[in-house]
Copies of this chain bind each other. A is one copy, B any other.
Amino acid sequence: MPEYGVVGTGALGGYYGGMLARAGRDVHFLLRGDYEYVRENGLRVDSVNGDFRLPAVNAYSAVDDMPLCDVVLVCVKTTENGGLPDLLRPLLRPGSVVLLLQNGLGVEEDLATRLPEAEIAGGLAFICSQKAGPGHIRHLDYGKLDIASYNVKNTVVLNKIIDDFRAAEVPAELSEDLQFARWRKLVWNIPFNGLTVVMNTTTDRLIAHDSTRRLTREIMLEVILGANRCGAGLKESLAQKMMDMTLEMIPYAPSMKLDYDNRRPMEIKYIYSRPVETAARAGFCMPKVAMLENQLRFIGDEARQ
């Protein structure tokens, strides 16, 4: 059975790592501020699918104390990716897979440049979860994982990971095309993350107003056209599907809005700048996405002053 490492034990890492641990997998959690608390008290997950506690988990405050892992789930925000190579190097042996459970475009590419020995896969988490307190995760809705290889040599291990997640009651699927999967999720993330911050609102209010509903759909279409110029092959009908899906969701503050409200840095680089640059290199201009990027950079910097 593969040994799992979890780098970043928050809303995402605490949930997915916790689910694997509950199902009996070996999971090693890297923590920062919550380390003492979790070492003493374990993890608590309040989930729509049933609450559970893990009274004793393998908790670490430094990667050097952790064992080598077969699979490392990277669950930190992309704003911390600068430190990733140093965090990952001590955990990997030949054949280990780094699974980046992060939003945006280009995270695998950047990590591969700086850590060429790593075998990397990307994961898209379709989940509403929050950190409720130290070692305490609140899972509100959804939870599916889409996983795709970036440069994994032996994809058998990816199927093994998917089996483990499924055995842990986490819906998981292998996607053939990482770029397709990443762009697909951006169709939702780009309008809703940015507009909830810039308009200081929630997804339901954006959709309830004619002007922002139209704008949201236009931005989705811009992302779809940009993605397709990059070869993603998304259907234009995806925009309407995502609008309908969001209508059915509970009023929701996306992760970037929570980051902004809690004065944490926003994931502008990988959710906005990289898609804009990538589409531009393919000859496609995304004016509305670029405008949102510039507005977010201003707001983020002003908030920090």
Chain A positions within 8 Å of B, measured between CB atoms, are 198-199, 201, 205-206, 209-212, 214-215, 218, 287-288, 290-291, 293-295, 297-299, 301-302
Contacts and interface: CB of A to CB of B under 8 A. Distances in A.
A215 B291 CA distance: 7
A302 B290 CA distance: 25
B294 A291 contact: no
B288 A212 contact: no
A294 B215 contact: yes
Contacts of A205: 302
Given A199-B295, A210-B297, 14 more contacts: A199-B302, A201-B298, A201-B302, A205-B302, A211-B293, A211-B294, A211-B297, A214-B294, A215-B291, A218-B291, A287-B287, A288-B288, A288-B291, A291-B291
Contacts of A218: 287, 290-291
Contact of A298 (B199, B294, B301): B199
Contact of A295 (B215, B293, B297): B215
A198 B210 CA distance: 17
B291 A212 contact: no
B301 A209 contact: yes
Contacts of A297: 209-212
A210 B291 CA distance: 13
24 contacts: A198-B198, A198-B295, A199-B295, A199-B298, A199-B302, A201-B298, A201-B302, A206-B298, A209-B297, A209-B298, A209-B301, A209-B302, A210-B297, A211-B293, A211-B297, A211-B298, A212-B294, A215-B291, A215-B294, A218-B290, A287-B287, A287-B291, A288-B288, A288-B291
A297 B205 CA distance: 13
A297 B209 CA distance: 9
A215 B302 CA distance: 16
Nearest to A297: B211
A-B residue pairs, 7 tightest by C-beta: A211-B297, A211-B294, A215-B294, A287-B287, A212-B298, A209-B298, A211-B298
Contacts of A211: 293-295, 297-298, 301
B199 A299 contact: yes
A180 to B, nearest CB: 25
Contacts of A214: 294
Nearest to A209: B298
A110 B215 CA distance: 27
Contacts of A198: 198, 295
A285 to B, nearest CB: 9
A197 to B, nearest CB: 11
